[in-house]
Structures are given as C-alpha cells and as structure tokens.
Amino acid sequence: MDGTLIDSEPYWIDAEMNLTARFGVRWTHEDGLTLVGNPLDVSAQVLIDRGVRLSAAEVIAVLVTEVAARAEASMPWVPDARALLGEVVDAGLPCALVTMSIGSLVDRFVEQAGDVFAAVVTGDQVARGKPDPEAYLLAAKRLGVDAAQCVAIEDSPVGIRAAHASGAATIAVPRQTESPVIHGVTVLTTLEGVTLRDLGRIFYEHTTMVSG
C-alpha cells in the first residue's frame, strides 16, 4: 500500500519529524527513508531509541492518526499503480493487499479503493513483519492459492525481500529507496504503461526460471 499504491511515505516521514520534534530529537528525511516498509513496531522502537519518550503503542497511535487524517483529506494514489490495479481487477483476477500499516489508514484506503481486494493482510495480523514472508504467505492462503502462483509488486527493500522469499514472482518498483539486488526480482522504474500482459510475461519468466 504505502509507496506502491499510494504515495504516503512523505506523510509518514512528516509525522515522524513532528513527533521527534516534540522531544527535541533531530530527525531528517534521510532518517525517515530508513524506516520505509518496516513493520510499525520496528519503526516505533527506532524512534524510541532515538529519544521519543513514549511507549511503542503510543508512537504507533500518534503516527497512524496523523497519516490517516492526511490521507483522508487527500488520498495520494499513484496513478500508474492504480491503473494497473484496475486492469487486473477488471480481468477478474483476485488481488490481495499486503501492508505493514494498521488501523484507520488501511480502513480508509480500502474504503476509497472500493471492492478490489479479495484479501487484506495488515501488520497486526502477522507475528513476523516484512522482510519475513509471513504476510505474503498469509495473503496467498486467503486467496486460496500458493504464493508461487502470485505476482507481487513492492517498492521498499524489506517488502521486496518479503515478497521474493514467499516464492511469488516479484516486481520491484522503488520510488523512495533503492531496490536490493536479488536474483529473479524484476526491477522497474515505473508501472506506467505496464499491462496485464506484461505481468503474465514476468510470471511466466519467473516460473520458467524456478522450474529450470
């Protein structure tokens, strides 16, 4: 969700900077980029270790509340991803949303997205967040398929690692950070012009490589 379907990473970084400023902690845009894609409890602990004097639950609540409010006022859809999602849904292929976000932000995003996700997995539904593949494996299970039958699209290093580790054909579209170099991961600079046929080709190449 964050960074792939919606350009919400600037919202998260702003929220982190607002929170750290309350405690006199210096937090930069570059610091924020290091947290992109992390489970919220991991990011919360980083902020606490830097000097934010709140519990992890309180840090998460503050961040989610601010980001959700901004997203409700202006949901920052990424046009190329939204177009591809629409094409896939129109073709009748089931889609899952796999995100480490939780709570009201996810709820508001899903509401605005409409009836497009056959399954939703959030950060509070798994014991091990990204880069562990648990969330992707759970999403595939909820879709009623093996993860190896899926195509996953991710933007963050931890998300890319999680998707790849699940066995899914993984497409990396890094928007805020660099993609890790992983054999078998397809790296694209944009989803502009990418079609369902392209996804099929990438999936075929992935399965051929794995079986070969």
Domains of the chain from N-terminus onward: 9-73 (1.10.150), 79-211 (3.40.50.1000)
3-state secondary structure of 40: helix
- Residue 115 DSSP symbol: T
* Ranges of residues in the chain whose predicted pLDDT is under 70: 212
28-82 pLDDT, tens digit each: 999 999 998 889 999 999 999 999 999 999 999 999 999 989 988 889 999 999 9
Q: Please, which residues have CB within 8 angstroms of residue 132's CB and are 6 or more apart in sequence?
A: 126, 162, 165
3-state secondary structure of 154: strand
Q: What is the pTM (predicted TM-score) of this model?
A: 0.86
